Structure 1
Amino acid sequence: MQHPEENPWQINAEKVIYDNPWINLTEYQVTNPSGNPGIYGKVHFKNIAIGVFPLDAELNTYLVGQYRFALNQYSWEMPEGGGALGVDPVDSAKRELLEETGLKAQSWTELLRMHLSNSVSDELSIIYLARDMQQFEAEPEDTEQLIVNKVPFETVYKMVCKGEITDSMTVAAVLKVKLLLLENKLG
């Protein structure tokens, strides 16, 4: 599909509002595409959002449960975390899988890439399918209080369909895996 390559937004000024080791927030004074002045805020992420969808030979997966501070609620999701820029994302995925579940996988396939909230942030997500796994000891970070459950894939798919899993990366991974299963392309 063809689309314009030129940015219709003009940046007139910018000011960093907030900065920490993970994100920064910049406020821009802009001229919008219709020629009117305005402001735009952008959250810049300093890491890549990494997701790992582990799937064993019996089509079980591993959900990680934790209380999410930003949501102020409990969330069930696949193993996820940040991957440093400049580091091979699959290496970050291997680290996250081991940290959160104690699993090591022999087979890694990139499932998809997504921008998680492209109206206000530049956060990129890369999600991997992990197969052929062996169990080791989990190594969670001190900020994580995790519960890990081995769950049949079809149960997780139903949880997504019922809205019981709302994490966007997990929802996308589950739907992609379901599509691959239906098309007999999982491998």
Structure 2
Amino acid sequence: MTQNVDHLIEKQLNSETIYEGKFITLTVQTVELPNGKQATREVIQHPGAVTVLAITAEDKILLVNQFRKATNRTLLETPAGKLEPGEDPLTSAKRELEEETGYQAAQWKHLSSFYTSPGFADELMHSYVATDLTLLKQNLDEDEFLDVLHVTADEAEAMVLDGRIADAKTVALVYWWLRERQREGK
């Protein structure tokens, strides 16, 4: 379905950088709304990220348990990470899978690319499925501490339903996996 949405576009009139960090920039923008009035938008600019649904030969997925300061709790997540400047998303996905879990995959499939929080951030996340895994060696960044779990479909679904998996990208990938397994008759 193609639809003309030009009448919804907000015209940027002004942009001021408030904060520039290692991988995010916060800007405050003045925009002209479709009705001609002005509004302020606070926008986090992010280089983009990847996430990987890694499926083992035993039909389990790899999750990482990692403390996230922004939520002040440990979250179960699919392996993920930010893109380096100019980096191809698949290259990043391969790197993140190996760094965080110690696995390499022979087969890769791009699932989708989606905005994580478009109300205030431009982060575009690229999701992949990785199969035909080989265990090598985990190679965490020096500021990264996490545990790797191998989770069955039933366990993953229960974890989503009872809130142990509360990370949106992971919820989306778990449900994609459950749907695909159902289509395959598993």
TM bucket, shorter chain: over 0.9
Contact 2:49–2:89 (Cα < 8 Å) also in 1 = no
* Aligned twin of 2:167: 167
Structure 1 pair 7–147 and aligned structure 2 pair: CA distance change class (3 A):
same
* TM, length-normalised to structure 2: 0.92
Deviates further, 112-121 or 29-38: 29-38
Deviation at 1:30, TM superposition (A): 2.1
The aligned residue for residue 41 of structure 2 is: 40
Partners of 1:12 and 1:142 in 2: CA distance: 41
1:146-174 deviations in Å (ceiling 9; x for gaps): 11111212211221122221111111111
Match of 1:150 in 2: 150
Q: 1:11 and 1:36 mapped to 2: Cα distance?
A: 12
**C-alpha root-mean-square deviation of aligned residues, in Å?**
1.7
Does the Cα contact within 8 Å between 1:111 and 1:176 map onto a contact in 2?
no
| Change in 2 beyond 3 A, CA 1:185/1:24 | farther
Matched AA of 1:38? A
Quote how far apart the aligned CAs of 1:4 are. Answer: 1.6
How do residues 7-26 of structure 1 correspond to structure 2 at under 5 angstroms? 8-26=9-27
Q: Is the 8 A contact 2:7 2:34 kept in 1?
A: no
CA distance in 1, matches of 2:184, 2:130: 17
Residue aligning to 2:108: 108
Q: So what's the TM-score if we normalise by structure 1?
A: 0.92
Distance 2:184 2:112 in 1: 18
Distance in 2, matches of 1:83 and 1:12, equals: 29
8 Å contact from structure 2 (residues 56, 62) kept in 1: no
Deviates more, 1:135-144 or 1:76-85: 76-85
How many residues are matched? 185
How many angstroms apart in 2 are the aligned matches of 1:86 and 1:12? 28
- Please state whether the residue corresponding to 2:178 is helix, strand or coil: helix
Structure 1 unaligned residues grouped into runs of 5+: none
CA distance 1:85–1:157, shift in 2 (3 Å): farther
